[in-house]
Structure 1
Amino acid sequence: MNVPSGSLRSLLPRRQDYTAFRRSWRRDLVAGVTVAIVALPLALAFGVSSGMGAEAGLVTAIVAGLVAAVFGGSPVQVSGPTGAMVVILGPIVVAHGVGSVVVISILAGVIVLLAGVMRLGRTVSYIPWPVIEGFTVGIGVIIFLQQVPGAVGVSGAAHSTNALVAAVQSVMSASWPAALLPLGVVASVAVLMLALGRISGRLPASFIAIAVVTMGASLLSLPIDAIGELPQSLPAPSLPVVDVGTLPSLLAPAFAVAALAAIESLLSARVAASMSDTDPVDADRELFGQGLASIASGFFGGMPATGAIARTAVNVRSGARTRASAIVHSLALLAVVYLAAHVVAVIPLAALSGVLMVTAARMISPTVVRQVLRSTRSDAIVFVVTALVTLSFDLIVAVGIGIAVAGFFALRALSAASGVHREELPGPPVVGDERIALFRIDGSLFFGAAERILDRISAHAGIEVVILRLSQLQLIDATGARTLTQLVTALERRGITVLIKGIRPEHLSVLERLGVISSLRHPRHLFVEVDAAIAHARSHISRTAARG
C-alpha cells in the first residue's frame, strides 16, 4: 500500500492541537478530573463485566485514553472501555480465553489504524439513524442482562450463553435469600445514582454512589464479594504470547472488534462535535488514533478501546476545549493506580453491576424510541430488526443486517420515485403525431427501476418514432445504462426509430461505454432541445408516408 508522506503527516499530532490551551487550561483541567471521577467506576465495571477483570478496564482507560487523546481526530473525545465493546468481548473470552483478548486488541487496532490511513473515516455517515438507535437499544438491554448474575451473586454465567438465558438461569440458580444482599447493594447504587441525577446533572453520581455503598459495606462488614487486590503500578508493556495455530481463529473476532471500535468511535466523535464549538472532527485521524490506542492497550494487557460517548459528553459539559482534558483524565486515573489501589480493592462487585445497570437503562431513551417508531413504517422496521438481531445474534451482524434492510427500503423508495411518463407533443398537432411517442424518464434509472421502465415503454403499440427525454434523469448506474441500450436495440429491431434528447454531461460517459449511443440508428439522433427532436421525428414520419 503506497501512501503519500503528506497524507500520513496529516494523521499525526501537531502544534495546532493545543493552540487554545493557553486560554482554556483551567477548564480543561477541571473537565479532565471530572471525567476521571466518572470514568473510574465505569472502567472497573466494564473490566469485570468483560471477564478480564477490573485491572484490565483501568489499564485500558489509562493507556488507550491517553494515546487516543494525543493521536485522535476529536479535540474533546474521551476513549476507554465501553459497554458495546464489553458485549462483544464477553463471548470471545468464553470461546478463546482471557489471553486472546490482548492479541485481538492489537490485531483490531492494526485494522482500525489501516482504515484511517486508507481514508475510510467518512463511511460511518452512511449508517442510517434507525440502525444506530436499534443498535444502541440492543446494546443497552444486553448490558443490563449481563449484570443480572452479579446482582444476585452468581459468578461465571454472564457470557456462557445468550444474555437473556444467562440472566434467567442466574436468577433460578441463585442462593436465596443470600442473593438479597448483593441485590440490595445494586438497588442502593441505583437509587443513589438516580436521586443524585435529579439533584444535579453535574454531580458524579456513579462515583458518589460507589463511595457511599463501599463505606457502608465496610462499616457493616457485609459478607459480599469485592474487586480484590489490584496492582499498585501500571504493568510494564510486553509482547503477548501468540499461538500461531490459534491465530486464524482470532481474525474474525478481530475484524468484528475493529468494526465496532471504528463505528462507535466515529459516532461518539460526531455527537461530540454537535455538542461543542471546537474544531471539527477529523474522521480519518480519529480512526488512526483509536487504532494506536487499542494496540497500546493490548501491549499493556488491556482490551480494545473506543470513543466513549457518556464520558465524552461529561467532558464537553464540564467545559473542555482541547484534547488536554482527555490527557488529564488518563493521568488522574493513573494517580488512582499508584495512590489508591488499596481503596479501590474493597469496592463490592455488586456495586459495579448497579452502575452498569443504570448506565444501560440510560442508553435507551423512550423519547427517541417513540420518534423512530412514529417516523415511517420502513424506519420502524429497520429499528426493530436491528435491535432484535443485536439481542439475538451479534452486534456487527446486527449493523450489517440493519444497513441491508435500510438499503432495501431506500432502493424501493428510490425506485418508486423513478418513472417514465408519456407526454403530449408541444404545439399544434400535426398529421402523423399519433405515431410519435415522447417519453420523459424521471428520477433514477438504476437496477431497481430499469426493468419497470423498459416494460412501460415497450407496451406501447403503433409507434414509429420514440423520443426519450433524459434531462430529468438524476442518476443512472450500469444496469440502467445497459437496460437503456437493450431498450433502444429492441425498438430499433422492431423498426421504431429512437431519438434521445437531453443527456446530462455527467451521464454521457457511462452511456457511451455501455453502448447506448452506438445502439442508435444514426449519431444525429442525439438532441439538446426537444423541439429539434420533435421536428426530426415529424420529418421522419413525413418521409415514411411519402415512400408509402
Structure 2
Amino acid sequence: MKTFEFKPKLYTALKNYSKETFLSDLMAGIIVGIVALPLAIAFGIASGVSPEKGIITAIIAGFIISFLGGSKVQIGGPTGAFIVIVYGIIQQYGEKGLIVATIMAGLLLIILGVFKLGTIIKYIPYPIVVGFTSGIAVTIFTTQIKDLFGLKMHIVPADFLSKWGAYFQDFSTISLWPTLVGLLSILIIAYTPKFSKKIPGSLIAIIVMTIFAYLMRTYAGITSIETIGDRFTINASLPQAQVPAMSWEVIKGLFPAAITIAILGAIESLLSATVADGVTGDKHDSNQELIAQGAANLITPLFGGIPATGAIARTMTNINNGGKSPVAGLIHAGVLLLILICLGPLTKHIPMACLAGVLVIVSYNMSEWRTFKALLKNPKSDIAVLLITFFLTIIIDLTVAIEVGIVIACLLFMRRVAETTNLSVITEEIEPAVVGEVGEVAEEPIKIPEGVEVYEINGPFYFGIANKFEEQMVQLEDHPKVRIIRMRKVPFIDSTGVHNLTNLCRMSKKENIEVVLSGVNDRVHEVLEKSGFNDLLGKENICSHITLALARAQELIDKK
C-alpha cells in the first residue's frame, strides 16, 4: 500500500502558470468573492453566530482549502448543510463548544486523508445523503419563518414541531413590510437567472432591498423592517486567534457532533469536487482534499469561524466564470477580506427578511425534492432508509439521523448479501461448465464417488451468513462418509465464518464424517491458517480444486 503523498493542486497548477490563466482566475475570483458575501452572512446568522463570523469563515477556510486542496477549482466556505448542526451545538454548548467540536472534526478529516480513506466516503448510501440533505433543507426553511414574515415572537422553540406550533399560534403578529421585503427578495433571486447568468440574484436582492429598507426607515418613518444592525454589532476586522480551553468531559460530549461535522464536510466537499471534475474533465485527489478540509476546520475556529466545506454553488460559479486553478479561490478569499474591512459597517443595513429570503431559496435548492420523489419508487428498503433519515433529521437532530441511517443501511446491505449467498448440495456428478477452479481442465462431467457429498458455498462467508450456513447443514441430516466443502466462490471469510466452519468439522468428526475443503483462494487460506484451522483439519484436506478434493475423498474412503 502506497503512503500518502502530500501534493496540493496549487503546487502542480503553478508549474505552467501563465498570464492568461491568471487573468481568467482573477475575474472568476472577484465574481465568486462577491457571490459568496451574502451567503456567508446568511449562513453565519442562521447558524447562531454574528454575520462577520460567516465572512471570516469564508475568508480563512476558503483560502486554506484552495491553498492545500486536491481540486483545481473547489471553492470552500460555510454552507447550508452545517446550519442545523452548528445551531444545535451553540444552543447546548455555546460558541466555545462549537470551536472545540469543529477543531475535533478538522483532526478527524486530516486522519481520513492521511490514511487514504477518501474513497470510503463514497460508499455512504445515496438515500442517506438525500434523506439528511432534504431534512436539512426543511429545517433551514423552518428557522426562517419568523424573519421572513416579521413575526413578533420573543422566544422561538428549538425543536421542529414546537417551532411550527408557535408559528401558527403567533402568525397573527405578521408584519407587512418585512413580509414584502422577504417575498420580493425571493422573486428577485428566482428570476435573476432569466436576465443575467453572471450576477447572482442573492447579491442583487440584498443591494436592492437594503436600499429600499434604508429609504423607508429614513424618509418614510417605517421602523418595522429589522436589519442586521438592530440585532448584531458588526466587527469589520479579523480577530486574534484564541485557543479554547478543553476538558475531557467536553470532548466526550462533543465527539458525536464532531463526527457528524466531519462526515458532512467530507461528503459535501468530495461531492462538490466530483461534480466539478465532470464539468472540467480534471480529476481531484480525494485524500488531499480531505487534508485541506481538515486543516481549514482546524484553523478557522481559532478565529471564531464556523465549520466549512467545499461549496457546490460557489465552485460551479468559479468554473462558469473561467476559474482555471486554485489561484481563483485564493483571490476569492482576498476579495472577501477587502469587503469585510472596507464595506463591513454597511452590512448593518441589510434587512433580516432579505437574508431569510436568501435562505429560503438555498433551502429549496438543497431540498432535491425531484430526487427525493424519484427515490420513493425504489425498493422498500431504500425508501425506509430515506424516510427514517429524513424524519430523524427534522424531528430529532442530524447526528442521530446520520448514525441511525448508516446502521440501518448496513443491516439492509448485510441482509441482501445474505440472501444472495446460498448453499447447494451435489451428490452425483459435477457439470464441466461449472468446474472453473484454478488448475482444472474438464470436458466431461466429473463423477462424485459413492459416500461423498459436495456442498458448495456461493458468496462471502462472513458473520451475516455463517449462522445461516450452519443451520442449513444441520437441517440436511445426511451422513455421507466424506463432506467436500467447495469454496471456489467464497471471496473472503471472517472470524465468525471460521468459527462456524470449525464447529462443522468437529461435529462431523463426532459423526465419523471426514471434511475436505476445495477451491480455497489464497486470501481465505491465509485466514484459515492464522486461526489454526489447518491443524484441526490437516493441510492435506485443504485442496486447491475439486479434482484433487475428490481424489482425496476417495483416498479417505479407501482407508476406511
| 1:516 and 2:533 aligned | yes
| 1:530 and 2:546 aligned | yes
| 1:265 and 2:262 aligned | no
Letter in 2 for 1:517: N
Residues 495-530 of structure 1 show CA distances to partners (whole Å, capped at 9, x for unaligned) of 11112221111211111222433222x543233342
| 1:378 and 2:374 aligned | no
1:466 to 476, 480, 483: 483
Q: Secondary structure at the match of 1:326?
A: helix
Corresponding position of 2:470: 454
| 1:142 and 2:139 aligned | yes
Corresponding position of 2:391: 388
Letter in 2 for 1:77: Q
Label 1:87 to 1:12 Cα distance change in 2 as closer, same or farther (>3 A): same
Label 1:163 to 1:271 Cα distance change in 2 as closer, same or farther (>3 A): farther
Q: Secondary structure at the match of 2:423?
A: strand
Letter in 2 for 1:461: D
1:42 to 26, 39, 44: 39
Label 1:100 to 1:502 Cα distance change in 2 as closer, same or farther (>3 A): closer
Letter in 1 for 2:321: S
| 1:93 and 2:93 aligned | no
Label 1:305 to 1:119 Cα distance change in 2 as closer, same or farther (>3 A): same
Tell me by how many angstroms 1:190 deviates.
Answer: 0.9
**TM-score scaled by structure 1?**
0.89
| 1:486 and 2:503 aligned | yes
Distance 2:470 2:390 in 1: 39
Greater CA deviation, 406-415 or 390-399?
390-399
Greater CA deviation, 146-155 or 105-114?
105-114
Distance 1:250 1:310 in 2: 33
Tell me by how many angstroms 1:103 deviates.
Answer: 4.5
Corresponding position of 1:214: 210
Letter in 1 for 2:228: I
Distance 2:103 2:446 in 1: 75
Letter in 2 for 1:440: E
Q: What pairs with 1:117-266 in structure 2 (closer than 5 Å)? A: 117-154=114-151, 160-173=157-170, 176-177=173-174, 179-221=175-217, 222-223=222-223, 224-228=225-229, 231=234, 233-240=236-243, 242=245, 247-248=250-251, 251-252=254-255, 253-266=257-270
**TM-score scaled by structure 2?**
0.87
Structure 2 residue ranges without an equivalent (≥5): 431-443
Distance 2:135 2:71 in 1: 26
Residues 283-312 of structure 1 show CA distances to partners (whole Å, capped at 9, x for unaligned) of 332222223223332232222222222212
1:443 to 456, 459, 462: 459
Q: What pairs with 1:5-84 in structure 2 (closer than 5 Å)? A: 10=6, 15-19=11-15, 21-22=17-18, 23-84=20-81
Distance 1:456 1:244 in 2: 53
Q: Secondary structure at the match of 1:10?
A: coil
Give the total of aligned pairs.
535
Letter in 2 for 1:499: V
Label 1:158 to 1:167 Cα distance change in 2 as closer, same or farther (>3 A): farther
Letter in 2 for 1:349: M
Cα contact 1:124–1:267 (8 A) shared by 2: no
Label 1:476 to 1:155 Cα distance change in 2 as closer, same or farther (>3 A): farther
Label 1:531 to 1:170 Cα distance change in 2 as closer, same or farther (>3 A): same
Tell me by how many angstroms 1:492 deviates.
Answer: 1.8
Label 1:10 to 1:523 Cα distance change in 2 as closer, same or farther (>3 A): closer
1:476 to 484, 493, 496: 493
Greater CA deviation, 139-148 or 235-244?
235-244
Q: What pairs with 1:425-436 in structure 2 (closer than 5 Å)? A: 425-426=429-430, 433=449, 435-436=451-452
Tell me by how many angstroms 1:249 deviates.
Answer: 6.7
Tell me by how many angstroms 1:159 deviates.
Answer: 7.0
Distance 1:523 1:48 in 2: 68
Greater CA deviation, 371-380 or 107-116?
107-116
Residues 93-129 of structure 1 show CA distances to partners (whole Å, capped at 9, x for unaligned) of 2223344434444444344334434444333122111
2:340 to 337, 340, 343: 337
Tell me by how many angstroms 1:542 deviates.
Answer: 5.2
Tell me by how many angstroms 1:358 deviates.
Answer: 0.8
Distance 1:240 1:19 in 2: 36
Label 1:112 to 1:378 Cα distance change in 2 as closer, same or farther (>3 A): same
Label 1:159 to 1:128 Cα distance change in 2 as closer, same or farther (>3 A): farther
Q: Secondary structure at the match of 1:461?
A: coil
Tell me by how many angstroms 1:347 deviates.
Answer: 0.9
Q: Secondary structure at the match of 1:470?
A: strand
Distance 1:537 1:442 in 2: 21
Label 1:473 to 1:159 Cα distance change in 2 as closer, same or farther (>3 A): farther
Structure 1 residue ranges without an equivalent (≥5): none
- RMSD between superposed Cα atoms in Å: 2.8
Letter in 1 for 2:390: A
Tell me by how many angstroms 1:264 deviates.
Answer: 3.0
